[in-house]
Amino acid sequence: MERDAIGVENLHAALDQLLNQPPLRKSPQLSAFLAYVVRESLAGRGSLLKSYTIATDALGRAPSFDPATDAIVRVEARRLRQVLQQIYEDPQCRLPVRIDMPLGRYEPSFRRIERPAAAVPAACPRPDAAETLRESEQRYRALVEASAAVEWRASPDGRITQSYGWSARTGQSDRAFRDSGWLDALHPEDRERTAALWRECYRVGAPFEVSYRVRHRDGSHRWMLARGVPLENPDGTIREWVGTLSDIHERVLAEEALRTSEERLRLAVEAAQLVTWEIDADTRYVTCSESALDLFGSAAGPLDSLAALIDPEDLPRVVAALDRAFRGEAAYDVQYRITDPTGRRRWISARGSLVRVPYGPARLIGVAADVTSRFAGTQAGRNRAAVPA
């Protein structure tokens, strides 16, 4: 491989020289992208480069980044290829090594640049450059369409100039959504904050990301996630904005339903004075809700430490029930006595089930309750029945 012939140290030096070129020096985002993929490749991890790792490790996206709905990596990769081509085709370019990112993958390629004896006008484009650009544009549009996303473009001052898919969703005509007309299709409660954020982003040249509700053709409003990035000229000024709009309505509703369900469960657990707990099947580490502090003196710790609180007469029965539950043979359902940290004797009723997940260890999850009053009442009744009349 030519990469091996060049040498890792020389390639790191070539990267530093390339990052010092004006088009990259004026674009921190592209520089971060290039530096990340090159250094990962030189470290032997080039085959592991994916949209997610580039977005989260190099471009500052959150761990919740979804390549299916966010095209930032594809957009920035396209920009980077164009900038690299521009740098290397400059007649003044004297870089000894050419670093490229081939179409269809993120792992870079490396080759020495052989200087011809006679100067060749580098300004002349390659015969297939226009065709390559058209094919790249077709691929990009196909990816946008396949992901059910809306593509949009805007001028440097934030005026929407073009969209692919917006009219089909909203019914707004091409003329109606241009400039700031697209805001009319937003839910009234979302317009002001969206417009304010967009103004600030195009003012400072920062990536744009916001979710809002959009009125569709049938009159319903659906949650959409808008993202956009600036494309820069060689001098660092913004040439235009490009972005996508993805439908996240089901995800938002699911998250809201989950939050509601979790809140209802929390209130029910608190009202019933229950302790929620889970045990890692591999490590036997126990994690409990804070309400466990009153019963066990701790909300987390090794199972052996919490088991030390159990009455010795009840411990074998509890251990046997746990073993059956971890093997998936039966649900965990047992009552036992403990001595809490204050020295008070209590009866505990605990129930749980084994939960298996595709990745990671299984967990035994359940609830526990202090039922001392119930057992005490039963014992008191037995004592009264044993006293002669």
Q: Where are the alpha helices (DSSP H) in 222-314?
A: 249-271, 292-296, 303-307
Give the phi and the psi of residue 360 in degrees, each rounded to 5: 100, 170
- Of 144, 167, 184, at which residue does a domain stop? 144
Average pLDDT value for the chain: 83
What are the tens digits of pLDDT across the range 27-54?
A: 888 888 999 999 998 888 888 888 888 9
Query: What integer pLDDT is reported at residue 155 of this predicted model?
Result: 93
**CA gap 170, 182 in Å, rounded:** 9
pLDDT at 259 over 60: yes
- My answer on whether 140 and 6 are in the same domain is yes
pLDDT at 128 over 70: no
* Of 75, 67, 72, 51, the residue nearest 136 (C-alpha): 75
Q: Which residue has the higher pLDDT, 168 or 384?
A: 168
- My answer on whether 140 and 3 are in the same domain is yes
Query: What integer pLDDT is reported at residue 377 of this predicted model?
Result: 53
Tell me which range, 127-131, 233-237, 269-273, 276-280, is most confidently predicted by mean pLDDT.
276-280
* Structure token pair of residue 248: 């996240």
- My answer on whether 301 and 352 are in the same domain is yes
Rounded to 5°, angle at Cα 74 from 146 and 112: 135
* Residue 267 counted as domain residue: no
* Structure token pair of residue 90: 């400059």
- My answer on whether 224 and 254 are in the same domain is yes
Long-range interactions of 117-124: CB distance < 8 A, separation 24+: 119/91, 121/91, 122/89, 122/90, 122/91, 122/93, 123/89, 123/91
Q: Are strands 109-112 and 97-100 parallel, antiparallel or unpaired?
A: antiparallel
Is the separation of the CB atoms in 285 and 278 below 8 Å?
Answer: no
- My answer on whether 291 and 372 are in the same domain is yes
Query: What integer pLDDT is reported at residue 129 of this predicted model?
Result: 54
Is the separation of the CB atoms in 65 and 55 below 8 Å?
Answer: yes
Share of the chain above pLDDT 90, in %: 31
**CA gap 260, 252 in Å, rounded:** 12
- My answer on whether 6 and 108 are in the same domain is yes
* Of 97, 95, 89, 60, the residue nearest 76 (C-alpha): 60
Report how far apart, in Å, the C-alpha atoms of 87 and of each of 59, 84, 97 are: 22, 5, 12
- My answer on whether 373 and 247 are in the same domain is no
**CA gap 252, 214 in Å, rounded:** 13
| Span of 13-27, 272-286, 345-359, 369-383 with lowest mean pLDDT | 369-383
* Of 286, 292, 277, 287, the residue nearest 370 (C-alpha): 292
For residue 103, give the amino acid letter. Answer: L
Q: Which residue has the higher pLDDT, 234 or 289?
A: 289
What are the tens digits of pLDDT across the range 79-122?
A: 888 889 889 888 888 888 999 988 878 899 988 887 655 444 44
**CA gap 210, 195 in Å, rounded:** 10
Is the separation of the CB atoms in 143 and 71 below 8 Å?
Answer: yes
Structural domain harbouring 14: 1-144
- The pLDDT-based confidence of 336 (bands split at 50, 70, 90) is very high
Is the separation of the CB atoms in 146 and 138 below 8 Å?
Answer: no
User: Tokens 């006679």 identify what position?
Assistant: 118
- My answer on whether 10 and 45 are in the same domain is yes
- Of 261, 293, 322, at which residue does a domain stop? 261
Total tally of structural domains belonging to the chain: 3
Contacts of 212 (CB under 8 A, 6+ apart): 186, 187, 190, 191, 194, 223, 224, 226
- My answer on whether 112 and 12 are in the same domain is yes
- My answer on whether 156 and 37 are in the same domain is no
* Residue 211 counted as domain residue: yes
For residue 205, give the amino acid letter. Answer: G
Q: pTM, whole model, 2 decimals?
A: 0.48
- My answer on whether 329 and 375 are in the same domain is yes
Which CATH number is 246's domain given?
3.30.450.20
- The pLDDT-based confidence of 132 (bands split at 50, 70, 90) is low
Q: State how far Cα 231 lies from the chain centre.
A: 24
Is the separation of the CB atoms in 183 and 194 below 8 Å?
Answer: yes
- Of 126, 144, 162, at which residue does a domain stop? 144
* Residue 266 counted as domain residue: no
**CA gap 254, 261 in Å, rounded:** 10
